[in-house]
């Protein structure tokens, strides 16, 4: 008897994969500013696909800014770029057969999230005569994309572009202004489109009439603790600017006074004056005004011009502000009598008592 073995058929499936996967990327979030700069963090998604019938994507590798490679065992990965400046990204994919995608080298992912810094805002001359030309100067720097433009305004009414002078310096010329105290504000815009317009840097400019006796001042003091009664522990820089003078045939002085103590959120602006007395190196005047936009506040300002005989060669300043009930809101020489000479020296700026020429008459109210 002859036995025959059954036939056995074996099917061999060819799983040989020589085709590498294909990877790509997309920016999924991030605000694009100007000149291809992003002004926020940038989110990127990297995805990879393998060929039909291939072994499938095993890993995605990426290197951000030449750092250590990151390996993700998945066909997609998300990452966030937070570093300001010029960023680079290299990525590739590997399938289960070991085929490696050709690396993609992405250069020029530019991020600048920081507004430019404005410093050294000045007006010259300051104070200025009513018919004098005034130069506004400022510096602006941006360490990432660079400063693109700088703008100034007078009392925030409208903005005008300043001319670049050198690398970081800017300038603008104002032909003349009428008598008063002006808030000169400056902001900058960088190449990426970041702007400091919402937080401009300001300085006060006093403009006077040279034909009458008057006092002007602009600058800042170190406000001492105890001066701001709502929060006596606060101290820091306080800016001021003022003009006070008599005009012919008018019995009350005119002008403007501004005082800003930023640490306490205090912003005072005069609305009218009651009197002005100038004696030697000392000027003092009284009036009413608005505090943070609210009416009903009185004030008295006393100033010493250090350059006048008896002034002691040091400009000094005091302002006292009170509410409708007479309660003191601010006094940088708290507890001193109204007749006391001011003791706080200026940290910067100047106070000037302008004396009318002989024979033109005085303007002091005795």
Q: Within a domain: residue 7?
A: no
Looking at the structure, do residues 186 and 282 belong to the same domain, yes or no?
Answer: yes
Q: Within a domain: residue 13?
A: no
What percent of the chain is modeled with pLDDT above 90?
Answer: 72
Q: Within a domain: residue 209?
A: yes
The DSSP output letter for 74 is: S
Q: What is the CATH number of the domain that holds 42?
A: 2.60.40.10
Region 44-65: what's the mean pLDDT?
Answer: 94
- Report the run of H or E that residue 178 belongs to, with start and end: none
Q: Is the pLDDT of residue 366 over 50?
A: no
Our CA angle for 75, 81, 85, nearest 5°, is: 140
What percent of the chain is modeled with pLDDT above 70?
Answer: 91
Looking at the structure, do residues 206 and 325 belong to the same domain, yes or no?
Answer: yes
Cβ atoms within 10 Å of 267's Cβ, excluding its own: 15
Looking at the structure, do residues 107 and 127 belong to the same domain, yes or no?
Answer: no
The answer to whether the pTM exceeds 0.85 is no
Cβ atoms within 10 Å of 314's Cβ, excluding its own: 12
Looking at the structure, do residues 239 and 278 belong to the same domain, yes or no?
Answer: yes
Looking at the structure, do residues 190 and 247 belong to the same domain, yes or no?
Answer: yes
For residue 3, the model assigns a pLDDT of: 47
Averaged pLDDT of the chain: 89
Cβ–Cβ under 8 Å, residues 220 and 348: yes
Give the Cα separation of 231 and 224 in Å (integer): 12
Give the Cα separation of 234 and 263 in Å (integer): 7
pLDDT tens digits, one per residue of 14-38: 458 899 999 999 999 999 999 999 9
Specify burial of residue 279 (Cβ count, 10 A radius: 0-12, 13-18, 19+): exposed
pLDDT tens digits, one per residue of 322-333: 999 999 999 999
The DSSP output letter for 359 is: T
For residue 202, the model assigns a pLDDT of: 87
For residue 15, the model assigns a pLDDT of: 58
Q: Within a domain: residue 345?
A: yes
Cβ–Cβ under 8 Å, residues 257 and 218: no
Q: Is the pLDDT of residue 296 over 60?
A: yes
Looking at the structure, do residues 41 and 165 belong to the same domain, yes or no?
Answer: no
Last residue of a domain, one of 111, 140, 164: 111
Looking at the structure, do residues 42 and 142 belong to the same domain, yes or no?
Answer: no
Cβ–Cβ under 8 Å, residues 38 and 32: yes
363 pLDDT band, cuts 50/70/90, is: very low
For residue 364, the model assigns a pLDDT of: 35
For residue 9, the model assigns a pLDDT of: 46
Last residue of a domain, one of 111, 143, 174: 111
Domain count across the chain = 2
Q: Is the pLDDT of residue 334 over 60?
A: yes
DSSP assignment string, 94-137: EETT--BPPPEEEEEEEE--SPPEEEEEEEESSSEETT--EEEE
Looking at the structure, do residues 107 and 140 belong to the same domain, yes or no?
Answer: no
Q: Within a domain: residue 128?
A: yes
The answer to whether the bond into 125 is cis (omega within 30° of 0) is yes
Tokens 């919402």 sit at which residue? 198
Q: Within a domain: residue 16?
A: no
- Among 38-52, 93-107, 167-181, 305-319, which stretch is predicted with the lowest mean pLDDT? 167-181
Q: Within a domain: residue 5?
A: no
Q: Is 152 helix (H, G, I), strand (E, B) or coil?
A: strand
For residue 365, the model assigns a pLDDT of: 29
For residue 361, the model assigns a pLDDT of: 46
The DSSP output letter for 262 is: G
Looking at the structure, do residues 123 and 89 belong to the same domain, yes or no?
Answer: no
Looking at the structure, do residues 94 and 122 belong to the same domain, yes or no?
Answer: no
Last residue of a domain, one of 111, 134, 155: 111
For residue 6, the model assigns a pLDDT of: 55
Looking at the structure, do residues 250 and 293 belong to the same domain, yes or no?
Answer: yes
Alpha-carbon distances, residue 68 vs 43, 65, 71, 80 (angstroms)? 19, 9, 10, 15
- List the helix and strand counts (H, then E) for the chain: 0, 27
Q: Is the pLDDT of residue 209 over 70?
A: no
Exposure string for 208-225, b = 16+ CB within 10 A, e = fewer: bbeebbbbbbbbbbebbe
pLDDT tens digits, one per residue of 135-145: 999 999 999 99
Phi, psi of 262, rounded to the nearest 5 degrees: -65, -35
For residue 144, the enclosing domain spans 117-354
Cβ–Cβ under 8 Å, residues 46 and 79: yes
pLDDT tens digits, one per residue of 64-79: 999 999 999 999 999 9
Looking at the structure, do residues 104 and 136 belong to the same domain, yes or no?
Answer: no
| Residue (of 263, 329, 325, 326) closest to 291 by Cα position | 329
Give the Cα separation of 132 and 176 in Å (integer): 6
Cβ–Cβ under 8 Å, residues 270 and 287: yes
Q: Is the pLDDT of residue 245 over 80?
A: yes
Q: Within a domain: residue 359?
A: no
Cβ–Cβ under 8 Å, residues 123 and 239: no
301 pLDDT band, cuts 50/70/90, is: very high
DSSP assignment string, 44-72: EEEEEE--TTS--EEEEEEEETT---EEE
């Amino acid at each position: 008897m002859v036995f025959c073995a059954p036939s056995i058929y074996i099917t061999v499936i060819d799983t040989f994969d020589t085709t590498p996967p294909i990877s790509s990327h997309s920016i999924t979030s991030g605000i694009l500013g100007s000149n291809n700069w992003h002004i926020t963090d940038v989110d990127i998604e990297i995805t990879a696909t393998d060929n039909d019938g291939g072994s499938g994507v095993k890993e995605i590798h990426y290197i951000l800014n030449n750092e250590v490679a990151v390996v993700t065992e998945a066909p997609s990965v998300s990452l966030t770029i937070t570093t300001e400046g010029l960023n680079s990204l290299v990525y590739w994919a590997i399938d289960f057969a070991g085929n490696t995608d050709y690396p993609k080298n992405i250069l020029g992912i530019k991020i600048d999230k920081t507004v430019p810094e404005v410093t050294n805002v000045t007006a010259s001359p300051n104070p200025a005569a009513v018919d004098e030309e005034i130069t506004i100067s400022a510096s602006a720097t941006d360490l990432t994309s660079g400063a693109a433009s700088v703008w100034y305004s007078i009392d925030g009414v409208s903005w005008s572009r300043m001319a670049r002078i050198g690398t970081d310096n800017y300038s603008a010329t104002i032909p003349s202004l009428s008598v008063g105290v002006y808030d000169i504000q400056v902001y900058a815009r960088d190449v990426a489109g970041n702007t400091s317009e919402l937080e401009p840097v300001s300085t006060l400019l006093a403009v006077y009439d040279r034909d009458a006796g008057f006092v002007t001042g602009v600058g800042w003091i170190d406000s001492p603790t105890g001066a701001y009664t709502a929060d006596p522990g606060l101290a820091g820089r306080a800016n001021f600017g003022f003009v006070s003078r008599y005009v012919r045939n008018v019995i009350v002085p005119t002008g403007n006074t501004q005082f800003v103590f930023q640490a306490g959120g205090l912003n005072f602006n005069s609305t009218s004056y009651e009197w002005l007395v100038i004696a030697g190196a000392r000027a003092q005047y009284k009036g009413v005004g608005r505090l943070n936009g609210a009416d009903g506040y009185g004030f008295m300002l006393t100033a010493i011009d250090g350059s006048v005989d008896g002034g002691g060669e040091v400009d000094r300043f005091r302002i006292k502000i009170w509410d409708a009930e007479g309660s003191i809101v601010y006094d940088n020489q708290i507890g001193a009598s109204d007749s006391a000479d001011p003791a706080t020296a200026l940290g910067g700026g100047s106070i000037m008592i302008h004396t009318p020429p002989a024979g033109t008459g005085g303007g002091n109210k005795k």
